[in-house]
Structure 1
């Protein structure tokens, strides 16, 4: 019986859950480690994201006989140019639109309340539970608005509190680009030759998975942001730049992000003019159809190979457990875990004795 995979699987499962339970009991021991990891998480994750975005440009410059160090310097100069352009030409109009939108907040709130009342008065029969939910929502719209504003300012406060960590990102990025080929040999140097070869393949697969996902998702998000900005400007939507930039960042959350970013744009569009709201919704639907049918399949379709329903379930579960951070990192984390499991499963199949029956 001990030779059967079912028995071994149950033993491994029990040991795994026992280990998790013990780690939970002794969590205070690992708290300093968690604090240390949290302190370096921002520069490492930020530099890692920029690494996968900029590394193709460095490789392209190397192909045309540009020394790698000079190629890295050129990429850093391009990043500085992008930052300067953003500071002088993009951030000021966004700030002006945010201030204008904040001033219009009470009017938008009142309009939402009126629309809900009009809809409610036009209904002959509304279940009591629905009626109570609507009344509660209408009575607390002001409170929800204040909570949203508080959340935004809390986010901004946290952002500026981590600003120092962002200063370290260029240093991490420089050494990631410069010494990228030294990382895997450094890790595999501690293992035997056979295990080092297997670990090298695994790390290369993880690197390829992360690189393809981040580069693809960034390109998809940028494409959607540009399409929405053009569409919003054509239909005359107020605060078009804000909603386009918001959609660009929300699109980093696969499948759910684009639709979540559409809600405030459509609401403001209807507040501005009913037809503007309709055309805003049309622009959003057209942009999403182009993305899901043309852009994303060609860029992301061959990378993840994950069913859309699986992605949505992963995002919802991670968001409920971790919060907003889980929404962003759930899919790439799942892709990495899937790569690791696939690697070890294939290694197991190669080492399984020939002719042994599979009891599954």
Structure 2
């Protein structure tokens, strides 16, 4: 009876759901563990991202006969130098532009209300439903502006909380750079030779997937941010540096990021001078075309091999569940899960073909 595949699959499915139900009933046992992992999630993820960006430098220094510990200290010195440059030259400009932007929001609201009033006064026939919708928007412009400003400051507060967790990142990063290459050999010593080989391959695949995405996305985002900044400077757009940095961060969100980064630039351009909204759109389109046709294919290639529809579905789901952080991390998380499942599926298929050659 149990030799039939359908029966075995049914029993396996029942056991899996039974296990899930038992875990749900005893979830209070895992709450302290969940709280612990939540507390260290930001430092580990942040250190992991910086690790994949800086690890090639440490590896290169190690090939030049420089001890890994000294290479790690050199990387930390480079990071400190980079932060110093940002604080001295970039942060003051961004702060000034952001302050001017917040101070200019009431003026933008008044301009929008004047524009709607002028458009209403010059229309002879307006459908009642459309007129009511416009009137509702006009009456609530001030409320919308307050909500946008409050939401903006809320985001800033979350960013500061996020930055506070970064104080632990240097400690995690130091030991990742110094001892990260010892993790796989340490685990392999507890496994049989066959399982150790499988684990080594799985670790290499995961490492390749994360390195391809993080390093590639970092290079691509920096290039896009630089192109946007040059374009905004050429068209003389206000808050050009802040908008370019916003575009750089948004570009870490695959597919939707470039379009999200264009919205503030188009709005700012429209209120500065309506034609600038068109030019801001042109800058975004040109930068996006250069990135998608020249930079990404050469930097990232097709390392993740994700279908665009899969990317869109994941982003929509992650945005609703995890917010902005969900948008940032859903693609690499999915790629890692996909790599793990593919590895174990291939291992299972190899094992089945060895026991039953006629199975496949």
TM-score of the two chains, using structure 1 as the length reference: 0.91
Q: CA deviation at 1:186?
A: 2.4
Partner of residue 331, structure 1: 331
Partner of residue 287, structure 1: 287
Note the 1:247-262 alignment, pairs <5 A.
247-262=247-262
Query: In 2, distance between residues paired with 1:22 and 1:59?
Result: 45
Q: CA deviation at 1:208?
A: 1.1
Query: In 2, distance between residues paired with 1:326 and 1:46?
Result: 14
Query: In 1, distance between residues paired with 2:57 and 2:99?
Result: 37
Q: CA deviation at 1:153?
A: 2.3
Query: What whole-Å deviation, never above 9, does each CA across 1:32-73 have from its counterpart, x for those lacking one?
Result: 212111111121111111100000111122222322222211
Query: In 2, distance between residues paired with 1:225 and 1:81?
Result: 20
SS in 1 for 2:350: helix
Contact 2:352 2:359 in 1 (8 A): no
Note the 1:139-158 alignment, pairs <5 A.
139-158=139-158
Q: CA deviation at 1:22?
A: 3.7
Query: What whole-Å deviation, never above 9, does each CA across 1:163-184 have from its counterpart, x for those lacking one?
Result: 4431221111111111112111
Tell me the C-alpha RMSD between the 2 structures.
Answer: 2.3
Between 10-19 and 28-37, report the one with greater CA deviation: 10-19
Partner of residue 204, structure 1: 204
**Residues 137 and 348 of structure 1: CA distance in aligned 2, closer, same or farther (over 3 Å):** farther
Query: How many matched pairs?
Result: 357
Partner of residue 54, structure 1: 54
SS in 1 for 2:89: helix
Note the 1:1-360 alignment, pairs <5 A.
2-116=2-116, 122=123, 124=125, 126=127, 128=129, 134-353=134-353, 354-357=356-359
Segments ≥4 residues shifted beyond 6 Å: none
Query: In 2, distance between residues paired with 1:132 and 1:30?
Result: 53
Query: In 1, distance between residues paired with 2:21 and 2:128?
Result: 45
**Residues 143 and 173 of structure 1: CA distance in aligned 2, closer, same or farther (over 3 Å):** same
| Structure 2 gaps, min length 5 | none
Query: In 1, distance between residues paired with 2:14 and 2:110?
Result: 56
Q: CA deviation at 1:80?
A: 0.6
Query: In 2, distance between residues paired with 1:322 and 1:6?
Result: 37
